[in-house]
Amino acid sequence: MLNLTPKEVAARSGLRINPCKTCQPVGALYAALGVHRCMPHSHGSQGCASYHRTFLSRHFKEPAIASTSSFTEGASVFGGGSNIRTAVKNVFDIYNPDIIAVHTTCLSETIGDDMGSYISEMDLPEGKYVVHTNTPSYVGSHIDGFANMMTGFINYLANKTGEGNGKTALFPGFLNPGDMRELRRIASLMKVPHILFPDTSGVMDAPMTGVYAMYPSGGTTIPEIIALGDCAQTLALGELTSEEPAGVLERKCKVPYKLLPLPIGVANTDALVMELSHLLAEEPAAELEEERGQLLDVMLDAHFYHYGRSVAVFGDPDTVLGLTALVLEMGMLPKYVVTGTPGEAFTRKANAVLAAHGAQGCRAKAACDLFELHQWLKNEPVDLLLGTSYGKQIAKAEDIPFVRAGFPILDRYAHSYFPIVGYRGALHLVEKISDALMERQDRDAADEDLELVM
């Protein structure tokens, strides 16, 4: 039995308790769903595909379609070549997608299946495509899987013809459909012709019509992915998610890229709007200037509820960096900034954001789990938790106000329809954070104190 003082936290390297991430194939499946008429395909066992689909369906409250190679003992020993060939034929015959996006799993990665060779030897129907990426579940996280699937599409499809299309390739990062709609709206207001890839809007937030559509109307089309090679430039949003796909497109098709943080908060959204403004030498749209002013007005109005309050931020790396920037702009102190995705680049960027705002006494960590965060909170509590549904039990145990943001949110509805990016998204977050802090004050304050506030 370890004898720990209240200030000590035991170090762990081989065990994760309440992980702050999930596996690569989940991200790969989500990226594939952002392509129009695409069937994601899990090259592994049925259980893997079921888990990945369930994980996404719980967050989006929408069906996440996928097919599987259905490994059994034979494929596990002799390889899954026969399985993938049969699966591709059956999927095209029965479900008739335009493209199948194959991602690997722990099992197929461990036995060493050569997916590139399998696919190159297939006799595909005319006008149909198969792409793949490698996504071992025991490396990285769903963020890496999302980026790897984007890279797979670019490697197979993006083509430079030499006839530029004058468009901007806009890589959104790992975001909800509502965020992708907001990014398209901002780019359209700035009159920048663009290709958003991937785009899960219209797929994972498709309307209820009474008629089931296996392939809803949304998603980046195959011709648009091919045309990425003729774009004038790439704006890669989410520095830790989109840099690798943008780099692959640059190396393959000579499309230069600009790396930007997720546009969460005032300064990060300013960076996106100004970059779009520079592309066409246009002034920022009046509508966006008005939204920015409204956001600042609300932040100023409610600043005495935010100022000096401490917060723990956790979730996906780029989302956490954006949320951290926002709460700093609100005058709050992000005491703990953590992600489950491995990579010290996150820690460096988080510390840079903290240093830029003069924040002291804060701790940033990658490859962190929420059990460790809980231990820190027991030693030094905060005023607010900001992150995914996995912080719910910590909030209950420590009686801390909790605002859900990011991925996954499993115990609430409609969240994926509302953006957290852009000025509108920041306004939505400021409202949620303000409500949580004010509700706690209402609960704890004496009646005579409440009468002074009202």
Query: What is the DSSP annotation of 160-207?
Result: --S-----EEEE--S--HHHHHHHHHHHHHTT--EEESS--TTTTT--
**Res 447 pLDDT > 70:** no
439 and 331 part of one domain: yes
* Domain presence at residue 82: yes
At which of 284, 302, 330 does a domain end? 284
Q: What confidence tens digit (pLDDT) does each residue in 176-189 have?
A: 999 999 999 999 99
Q: How far apart are CA 273 and CA 411, in angstroms?
A: 33
Tokens of 357: 């705002």
Q: In what order do the strands lie in the sheet with 333-339?
A: 363-365, 333-339, 310-315, 384-387, 402-404
Please name which of 252, 353, 359 lies closest in space to residue 309, comparing C-alpha atoms.
359
Total tally of structural domains belonging to the chain:
3
**Res 2 pLDDT > 50:** no
Q: How far apart are CA 44 and CA 134, in angstroms?
A: 12
276 and 422 part of one domain: no
> CA angle 321-242-236, nearest 5°?
90
142 and 214 part of one domain: no
**Res 446 pLDDT > 80:** no
* Domain presence at residue 19: no
Q: Is the peptide bond before 223 cis (omega within 30 degrees of 0)?
A: no
Q: How far apart are CA 451 and CA 454, in angstroms?
A: 5
Amino acid 246: pLDDT:
98
User: Which range of residues forms the domain containing residue 255?
Assistant: 168-284
Place of tokens 């943001």: 405
Q: How far apart are CA 183 and CA 423, in angstroms?
A: 11
Decide if 102 contacts 32 (C-beta within 8 A): no
**Res 5 pLDDT > 60:** no
175 and 264 part of one domain: yes
Q: Could you give the residue ranges of the DSSP H alpha helices within 70-192?
A: 73-78, 81-94, 106-111, 115-120, 142-157, 177-189
Cα atoms found within 13 Å of the Cα of residue 205, Cβ hemisphere only = 18
Please name which of 331, 308, 359 lies closest in space to residue 430, comparing C-alpha atoms.
331
Amino acid 75: pLDDT:
73
310 and 395 part of one domain: yes
* Long-range CB pairs of 122-126, under 8 A, 24+ apart, other chains included: 122/85, 122/88, 124/88, 124/92, 125/92
299 and 277 part of one domain: no
Q: How far apart are CA 184 and CA 9, in angstroms?
A: 45
pTM of the predicted structure, to 2 decimals: 0.94
User: What residue type is 96 in one-letter code?
Assistant: N
Q: What confidence tens digit (pLDDT) does each residue in 333-390 have?
A: 999 999 999 999 999 999 999 999 999 999 999 999 999 999 999 999 999 999 999 9
* End-to-end CA, the chain: 52
Residue percentage of the chain with pLDDT more than 70: 96
* Domain presence at residue 348: yes
> CA angle 230-182-40, nearest 5°?
65
Q: How far apart are CA 42 and CA 39, in angstroms?
A: 10
Amino acid 454: pLDDT:
54
Q: What confidence tens digit (pLDDT) does each residue in 55-66 have?
A: 999 999 999 999
DSSP state of 125: P
Q: How far apart are CA 146 and CA 152, in angstroms?
A: 10
Amino acid 1: pLDDT:
40
* Domain presence at residue 163: no
Query: Biggest alpha carbon distance in the chain?
Result: 78
427 and 413 part of one domain: yes
267 and 369 part of one domain: no
The whole-number average pLDDT for the span 245-272 is 98
143 and 38 part of one domain: yes
Q: How far apart are CA 450 and CA 179, in angstroms?
A: 36
300 and 227 part of one domain: no
At which of 231, 263, 284 does a domain end? 284
**Res 444 pLDDT > 60:** yes
Q: How far apart are CA 402 and CA 340, in angstroms?
A: 19
* Domain presence at residue 101: yes
Q: Across all residues in the chain, what is the average pLDDT?
A: 94
* Domain presence at residue 4: no
* Domain presence at residue 454: no
Residue percentage of the chain with pLDDT more than 90: 88
What 3-state DSSP class applies to 370?
Answer: helix
> CA angle 249-238-386, nearest 5°?
160
At which of 260, 284, 308 does a domain end? 284
Residue 207 has a CB neighbour count (10 Å cut-off) of 8
Place of tokens 């479900």: 95
Q: What confidence tens digit (pLDDT) does each residue in 211-229 have?
A: 999 999 999 999 999 999 9
Q: How far apart are CA 322 and CA 302, in angstroms?
A: 20
Decide if 258 contacts 275 (C-beta within 8 A): yes
- What letters, b where the CB count within 10 A reaches 16 and e where it falls short, cover 102-118? bbbbbbbbeeebebeeb
295 and 429 part of one domain: yes
Find the CATH number of the domain harbouring 302: 3.40.50.1980
Q: What confidence tens digit (pLDDT) does each residue in 192-206 have?
A: 999 999 999 999 999
176 and 135 part of one domain: no
* Domain presence at residue 380: yes
